[in-house]
Amino acid sequence: MFVRKWSIFILTMLISFPAWGGEGKILAIFFTPGNECETEIIRKINQAQKIDIAVYAINNDNIVKALIEGYHQGKEIRIVTDRVQSKGKWSKVSELSQSGIALQTNRRHKIEHNKFAVFDEEEVVSGSFNWTNPASLKNSENCIFFTDPQKNFQSRFQYLWNFYKPTEKARAEPHQKSPAIARL
């Protein structure tokens, strides 16, 4: 209990730190195992019209179902994910791609290890929570929902989306360091 309270305190301080966009507001914090992260992600997917996702692994049946249904309802959904994880036995990346959802896999970093989503360019979920069935059912993970008025996560997503595009120019460019968006 002490560790959980201390973790929440530190996360609150980090999210409200002025250099990171102190106008942001924590909306919710959840820990797993348990279905709260999954349930809240699905709720945000159902509410949003535009969803940008950067996630290491994705095979959570319920989240994938919500994304595909959302896409067929006309929501704008883009996903950046890890190249190696996307080819894994349990990955649902091909199912998402075949449904028509815009998807990029990393081509230039060793791994794409981010775990965040931006909903309507205003609210964000981030944390250690991989969008997988074990993350909800077995693992000890966390997810934090917050507002991002400085649009740091939206900017990062757009950077990754462009960086991973499979163009001749991108393949020819030397590896560049990503821009610093906010420093603590």
- Catalytic one among 115, 138, 151, 175? 115
- Give catalytic status of residue 25 as yes or no: no
| Beta-strand runs (E) in the chain | 26-31, 50-55, 76-81, 102-105, 115-119, 123-126, 142-147
- Catalytic one among 50, 109, 120, 151? 120
- Give catalytic status of residue 115 as yes or no: yes
> CB-based burial of residue 133 (10 Å sphere; 0-12 exposed, 13-18 middle, 19+ buried)?
middle
- Give residues with Cβ within 8 angstroms of 131, minimum separation 6: 41, 53, 55, 57, 58, 59, 60, 63, 115
- Catalytic one among 50, 109, 113, 151? 113
- Give catalytic status of residue 65 as yes or no: no
Q: State the catalytic residues.
A: 113, 115, 120
